[in-house]
Chains A and B, each alone.
Chain A
Amino acid sequence: MEAQPIISIQHLSKTFYTKTSEVHALQDINLDILPGQIYGIIGMSGAGKSTLVRCMNFLEKPTGGTVLFDGVDLGAMNAQALNEARRSMGMIFQQFNLLMQRTALQNICFPLEIAGVKKEAAVARAKELLEIVDLADKANAYPSQLSGGQKQRIAIARALATSPKVLLCDEATSALDPKTTRSILTLLRDINRRLGITVIIITHEMSVIEEICTHVAIIADSKIAESGTVQDIFTHPQTAAAQRLVFHRAGNVEQSVGNNALRIVFNGNASSEPVIAGMVLEFKSPVNIMYADTRDIDGKAFGQMVLQMPEDAAIAEKMKYYLTTHGLTVEEVQYNV
């Protein structure tokens, strides 16, 4: 039996009416997020990502369509029921949004206070959460005394206080450096695995999606351009918007890429250098690496590369075959990005 989506979005639209104009921030969005997934939503600035995630807990009221949380229509709830539902959905933000006049511990107690939990129970739970986010020693620090990464950890602990089923993250790592970003992402994955919490991640960085997401939806011009498993989208982006994102760090490649360029995707099945080196040696014909963005993790490569293939079509064809037989996904580059 197919699991019931924890969040199901149907024909959602959101239009902002300003004095002078209408902004269609979201149009006919359909999305099912299943329990346990780490669902990434990626798109360019202004695509409507924040609006979409804010519609998931009704911080923003949609102008059309429905949002079902655990099978129940948020739009049909009264204020009290909505507040109850929100306690089952934690949220974290780019700017952390901690209460500046409260200590870390008091910040984590805040959602419990609001929910009417007794003080001692709240403090006990908050201490438990400080352990989970690895900041037990910062219980009495004020946010102004914490680094960005530490603030986000406290914000995560606070969002988890009421034992939510879903954690919504709006650009949670965008204000952090790469190393801190990675540690926060690792924490989110841990939380997903250990506590079984569904995580929804809004980002404009493909690397965040690659790092931890199981599924991804690409949002462009207020619509979902493409959605599916990260594996599928990453290896076979169908739409221009998806290709642009998967490929975007190769931003200036397209002008220089000739007709016979190949994009190679590494999915951890081989180490990058030996394959390319081996191919060059085998065919005694050089290739030009136009663009590479790969990472070796435990001797396995993840990422992508764009190769300018030799003029000789026969050799190029053989090389392509060589790469495919070495377990790589290979595509002709024909992006009109």
Chain B
Amino acid sequence: MFDTTTWLMLGEGLIDTLYMTLFSTAMAYLLGLPMGLLLVITEKDSILPLPAFNTALSVIINLMRSIPFLIFLVWVMPITRAIVGTTIGSTATVVPLVLAAAPFIARMVESSIKEVDPGVIEAAQSMGATRAQIVWKVLLPEAMPSLIVGATISVTTILGYSAMAGFVGGGGLGDIAIRFGYYRYDDEIMLITVIILVLVVQILQEIGMRIANTSDRRKN
């Protein structure tokens, strides 16, 4: 069907896509996890009540989430250039991906942490646990299965975004689909990239859900 060069290109595209997706997810969690955690613990009745901060953080996250990703891509180009030195290629795509995914992840983390039974937090407090101990030994471990489900959803969403970044020269399978499939009307390449993306999403989803299920001690 395709020659070796095309296969090699597709292989490289796949690696680029995986790199962008996984690296961006990791970086986005570095930002989003603390933000989500703060959203929960700074609430009025939680362990670090800071209502004004909580409202401000929530508004900022909503603002960031309401900007369409394509506009985001263009907007953050100056920041990308400052950080990476270029606005083209996989690494350059990581910057807008992280900035777009972090607030989304913050909300996912928020909802996972909120699932932790307040009674358990109260029990920990009654034993003299500090706030840090409650975060590290209660909130995160108790929310872990749900956090993993959230991470699975996040990683597949970021994969979709990374493909979109192909429109502005972002690299990876999305880039190939745009350049060959869309601009050159090469339906076969278009189809194969889509198939590869679907498979990757399936596999990531499956792995994530398996880890979440086997780690959840509420089921047996």
- State the A residues within 8 Å of B (CB): 57, 59, 79, 82-87, 89-91, 93, 95, 97-103, 110-111, 113-115, 142-145, 155, 158-159, 162, 168
Among B27-35, B51-59, B100-108, B121-129, the stretch that binds chain A is B121-129
Contact partners of A158 in chain B: CB under 8 A: 127
Q: Do B123 and A142 touch across chains, with their CB atoms under 8 A apart?
A: no
Interchain CB contact under 8 A, A101 and B141: yes
Interface size bucket, B side?
20 to 34
Q: Decide yes or no whether B81 CB sits under 8 A from chain A.
A: no
Residues of B within 8 A of A86 (CB): 125-128
- The CA of A330 and the CA of B119, in the complex, are separated in Å by 44
- Taken together as a complex, chains A and B put the C-alpha atoms of A155 and B141 apart, in Å, by 19
Least Cβ–Cβ distance between B220 and chain A, in angstroms: 6
| A59-B122, A93-B119, A110-B137 known; A100-B127 Cβ under 8 A | no
Mask, B126-137, CB within 8 Å of A = 1, is 111110010001
Q: How far is the CA of A232 from the CA of B23 in the complex (A)?
A: 71
B residues within 8 A CB of A142? 217-218, 220
Q: In the complex, are the beta carbons of A113 and B128 less than 8 A apart? A: no
Instruction: Specify which chain B residues have a CB less than 8 angstroms from the CB of A113 in the assembled complex.
Output: 137
| Assembly CA distance A51 to B119 (angstroms) | 14
Dominant SS at the B interface? helix
> What residues of chain A lie closer than 8 Å to B126, measured between beta carbons?
57, 59, 86, 89-91, 168
| A97 close to B217 (CB less than 8 A) | no
Q: For the complex, what is the distance from the CA of A1 to the CA of B110, rounded to whole Å?
A: 56
* A101 x B144 contact (CB < 8 A): yes
New contact pairs (14) apart from A144-B218, A159-B127, CB-CB < 8 Å: A79-B130, A83-B128, A86-B127, A89-B126, A90-B126, A91-B123, A91-B126, A97-B122, A99-B120, A101-B141, A102-B217, A114-B133, A144-B220, A155-B123
CB distance from B39 to the nearest CB of A (A): 22
- Is B175 in the interface zone, CB < 8 Å from A? no
Q: Which residues on the B side are within 8 Å of A89 (C-beta)? A: 126
Q: Which of B117, B129, B144, B218 contacts A114 (CB 8 A)?
A: B129
22 pairs, CB–CB < 8 Å, chain A vs chain B: A59-B125, A83-B128, A83-B130, A85-B128, A87-B127, A95-B119, A97-B117, A97-B120, A97-B122, A98-B120, A99-B138, A100-B142, A100-B218, A101-B217, A102-B217, A110-B124, A110-B127, A114-B129, A144-B218, A144-B220, A158-B127, A168-B126
Known contacts A97-B120, A97-B123, A144-B220; is-contact A114 B128 (Cβ 8 Å): yes
Residues from chain A with Cβ under 8 Å of B217 in the complex: 100-103, 142-144
Who on chain B is nearest to A94 by CB? B119
Q: Please name the residue on chain A nearest to B117 by beta carbon.
A: A97
**In-complex Cβ contact of B142 among A59, A90, A99 (8 A):** A99
CA A111 – CA B122 in complex, angstroms?
Answer: 13
CB distance from B129 to the nearest CB of A (A): 5
Q: Which of B157-214 contact A (CB under 8 A)?
A: none
Closest CB in chain B relative to A294 CB, distance in Å = 37
What CA separation (Å) do A143 and B120 show in the bound complex?
A: 13
Residues in A whose Cβ lies below 8 Å from that of B127: 86-87, 90-91, 110-111, 114, 158-159, 162
B141 and A145 form a contact (CB under 8 A): no
A171 → B minimal CB distance (Å): 12
Q: Which among B129, B141, B144 has the greatest number of chain A C-beta atoms within 10 A?
A: B129
Residues of B within 8 A of A87 (CB): 127-128
Bound-complex Cα distance A100 to B122 (A)? 14
Report Cα–Cα, A79/B220, bound state, in Å. Answer: 39
Q: Which residues on the A side are within 8 Å of B130 (C-beta)?
A: 79, 83, 114
Q: How far is the CA of A86 from the CA of B122 in the complex (A)?
A: 12
Closest A-B pairs by Cβ, 4 of them: A83-B128, A86-B128, A97-B123, A91-B126
Measured between alpha carbons, how far is A162 from B141 in the docked complex, in Å? Answer: 22
- A95: which B residues are within 8 A, CB to CB? 117, 119
CA distance A102 to B133 in the complex (A): 15
Bound Cα distance from A57 to B124, whole angstroms? 12
Neighbouring A residues of B144 by C-beta, 8 Å: 101
Task: Find chain A residues with CB under 8 A from B120 CB.
Answer: 97-100
The reply to whether A99 and B128 contact each other, CB–CB distance below 8 Å, is: no
Cα separation A229 to B184 with both chains bound (whole Å)? 92
Min CB–CB distance B133 → chain A (angstroms): 5
- List of B residues within 8 angstroms of A100 by Cβ: 117, 120, 142, 217-218
Chain A residue at smallest Cβ distance from B134: A114
Neighbouring B residues of A97 by C-beta, 8 Å: 117, 119-120, 122-123
Query: Bound complex: CA of A82 vs CA of B126, how far in Å?
Result: 10
Chain B residue with Cβ nearest A112: B127
Q: Name the B residues within 8 Å of A155 (CB-CB).
A: 123
Which of B123, B138, B215, B218 counts the most chain A CB atoms within 10 A?
A: B123
